[in-house]
Chains A and B, each alone.
Chain A
Amino acid sequence: AQSVTQLGSHVSVSEGALVLLRCNYSSSVPPYLFWYVQYPNQGLQLLLKYTTGATLVKGINGFEAEFKKSETSFHLTKPSAHMSDAAEYFCAVSDTGRRALTFGSGTRLQVQP
């Protein structure tokens, strides 16, 4: 069975500071990994995904994530937070065979002025 752990249900950073949202997963097969963002009153929007190939993945809005197999991690980073980044972020994994996504519990990012 797959699982996803997001450390920290709430993260607060100052505008301009580094954003680091942690995600660890467990999977018995090579995983597909995703980060989604949900802004208030909106649906889930795909930020980035890792399937195969380069382990550093760049996404929208300046976010990137690095797949580290040895650490079973897929942490999300952004060098400089913007007020508009305030949202809830979800890490997810899928079994390439089963295709359903298994989500973490989400991390709510707050950006302080």
Chain B
Amino acid sequence: EAGVTQFPSHSVIEKGQTVTLRCDPISGHDNLYWYRRVMGKEIKFLLHFVKESKQDESGMPNNRFLAERTGGTYSTLKVQPAELEDSGVYFCASSPRTGDGYTFGSGTRLTVV
């Protein structure tokens, strides 16, 4: 089966610009998660979708971040406007059931200059 796909793999944008990251989970996985690793720090949870609903968005850092999952398939994470501290690697993961080990994508490396 195809894995979790994320694109772009890399993005370099200027401070103040907008960037949209996309994640395609494994087909049939209702649970979709976004995580972020800022340089040299832990991987941090951002939010969790169950189908198209936000189950938990307690990790979203501020209102410059907007995640959507229309139709319960792919998800987008928009950062608007981007700030320097948003640089890092953004991971998406999916799972069929809660409590399972997730399948992670390769991540999107975002650099804000």
Contacts and interface: CB of A to CB of B under 8 A. Distances in A.
Given A36-B104, A96-B99, A104 B56 contact: no
B43 A90 contact: yes
Nearest to B58: A100
B104 A103 contact: no
Contacts, number: 54
Interface of B: 3-4, 31, 33, 35, 41-45, 48, 55-56, 58-59, 91, 93, 98-99, 101-107
B4 A43 contact: yes
A100 B103 CA distance: 13
Task: Say which size band chain A's interface belongs to.
Answer: 20 to 34
A103 B42 contact: yes
B59 A100 contact: yes
Contacts of A43: 3-4, 91, 104-107
B35 A42 contact: no
A101 interface: yes
A18 interface: no
